[in-house]
C-alpha cells in the first residue's frame, strides 16, 4: 500500500512538473510572438517603414506556434492566438471591428499575457 501511495505521489509531482514546464514554454512562445509583433508595429508606426510581408509571415508562424503551446491551459486563448496568426498572413483583409471582436488586438493580448505572468503557476 505504501508503495502504491508513493507511486501516486510521484505521478502527481511529475504531472505538476510537466504542466508547469508546458505552461512556461507556452508563455515563452506567446511572449516571443508578442515582442516581435510590438517591435514590428513600432518600426512601422514610429519610423514610417513600409510593410514587410516576410516579417508578417514570420509573425504568423510565431503566433501559430504560440497557439499550439497555449491550447493545454486555455483553449479559448489558443484559438485567439491562432486567429492572430491568420491575421498576419493577410492583415489587409481584416477590418478594425473584426480584430476587436476576435479579441486579437495587440493591447488585449498584451494585457492577458501580463495577467498570465502574475497568475499562480
Is 62 within 8 Å of 36 (Cβ atoms)?
Answer: yes
Note the pTM of the prediction, 2 decimals. Answer: 0.81
3-state secondary structure of 67: helix
pLDDT above 90 as % of the chain: 63
* 37-54 confidence digits (pLDDT tens): 999 999 998 988 889 999
Is the sign of the CA dihedral 69, 70, 72, 73 positive or negative? positive
Instruction: Report how far residue 102's alpha carbon sits from residue 79's, in angstroms, rounded to the nearest whole number.
Output: 10
Q: What is the mean pLDDT of residues 83-93?
A: 96
Per domain, the residue ranges of the chain are: 2-118
Q: How far apart are CA 71 and CA 23, in angstroms?
A: 10
Amino acid at each position: 500500500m505504501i508503495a502504491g501511495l508513493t507511486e501516486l505521489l510521484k505521478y502527481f509531482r511529475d504531472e505538476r512538473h510537466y504542466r508547469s514546464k508546458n505552461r512556461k514554454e507556452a508563455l515563452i512562445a506567446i511572449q516571443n510572438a508578442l515582442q516581435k509583433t510590438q517591435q514590428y508595429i513600432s518600426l512601422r508606426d514610429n519610423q514610417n517603414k513600409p510593410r514587410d510581408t516576410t516579417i508578417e509571415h514570420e509573425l504568423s508562424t510565431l503566433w501559430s506556434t504560440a497557439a499550439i503551446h497555449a491550447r493545454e491551459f486555455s483553449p479559448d486563448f489558443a484559438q485567439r492566438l491562432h486567429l492572430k496568426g491568420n491575421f498576419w498572413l493577410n492583415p489587409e483583409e481584416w477590418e478594425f471591428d473584426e480584430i476587436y471582436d476576435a479579441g486579437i488586438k495587440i493591447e488585449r493580448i498584451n494585457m492577458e499575457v501580463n495577467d498570465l505572468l502574475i497568475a499562480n503557476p
